[in-house]
């Protein structure tokens, strides 16, 4: 197989979201809400267990009233908002403004950290003439995050689930990404961290390479393997 294009997942593949503690601390600061460190740790743990941070932990349980929004959260921006605000509201917080502040925060570039080798790999693919796209299950526009971190110049297309009304592993999203690059699936490699969602690209003939969803400090060079696969 000659790889002419690479499709990358976003969260857990190219960038990693901040910790629940950092996320909550930013929202507290934005709303001028003060809690002591012990309470900060407690609330962050509860929010993490609730799965309220997009890109963070999976919810331990999803309330029945949120089940539909959760299942389709990345197909529509409003459903995404409903799902994650609903999960956060399971945790009593000291200021009602915090729920909105938390939702706003997770979309800010400062909430995301690129993996150490992301820029290097994207730049090298561009130098080799390999076309690249981001294919993400997401309920909001992540392009500003890539621009803020200096990664946007090496990405040719963004195929985001909420803009297409379909989530991975749905074949239509992967096909849309191949079409955006003008490539056949058989010439394309999908790189992601989710063996269910990202491996769905195999159904249309893409090769698939999975990386571990670890904090950036624990995964300094996993994306470099992509360069070996491209050749």
Distance CA 15, CA 61 (A): 26
Prediction pTM value: 0.96
Full DSSP string of 176-223: HHHHHHT--GGGEEEEES-TTTGGGGGGGT-EEEE-----GGG-SSGG
> Which class would CATH give 5-16+111-230?
alpha beta
> pLDDT tens digits, residue range 23-71?
999 999 999 999 999 999 999 999 999 999 999 999 999 999 999 999 9
Distance CA 82, CA 98 (A): 15
Domain ranges of the chain: 5-16+111-230, 18-110
> pLDDT tens digits, residue range 123-139?
999 999 999 999 999 99
């Amino acid at each position: 197989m000659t790889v002419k294009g690479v499709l990358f997942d976003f969260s857990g593949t190219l960038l990693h979201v901040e910790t629940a503690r950092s996320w909550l601390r930013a929202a507290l600061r934005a709303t001028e809400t003060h809690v002591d460190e012990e309470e900060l740790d407690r609330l962050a743990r509860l929010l993490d267990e609730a799965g309220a941070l997009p890109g963070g932990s999976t919810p331990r349980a999803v309330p029945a009233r949120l089940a539909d929004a959760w299942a389709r959260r990345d197909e529509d921006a409003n459903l995404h908002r409903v799902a994650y605000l609903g999960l956060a509201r399971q945790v009593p917080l000291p200021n009602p403004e915090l729920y909105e502040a938390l939702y706003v925060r997770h979309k800010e570039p400062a909430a995301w950290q690129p993996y150490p080798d992301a820029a290097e790999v994207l730049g090298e693919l561009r130098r080799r003439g390999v076309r690249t796209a981001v294919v993400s299950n997401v309920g909001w526009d992540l392009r500003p995050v890539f621009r803020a971190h200096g990664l946007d110049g090496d990405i040719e297309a963004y195929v985001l689930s909420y803009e297409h009304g379909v989530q991975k592993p749905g074949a239509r999203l992967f096909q849309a990404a191949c079409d955006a690059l003008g490539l056949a699936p058989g010439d394309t490699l999908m790189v992601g961290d989710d063996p269910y969602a990202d491996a769905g690209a195999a159904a249309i003939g893409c090769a698939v390479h999975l990386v571990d969803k670890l904090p950036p400090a624990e995964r300094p060079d996993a994306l470099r393997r992509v360069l070996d696969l491209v050749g």
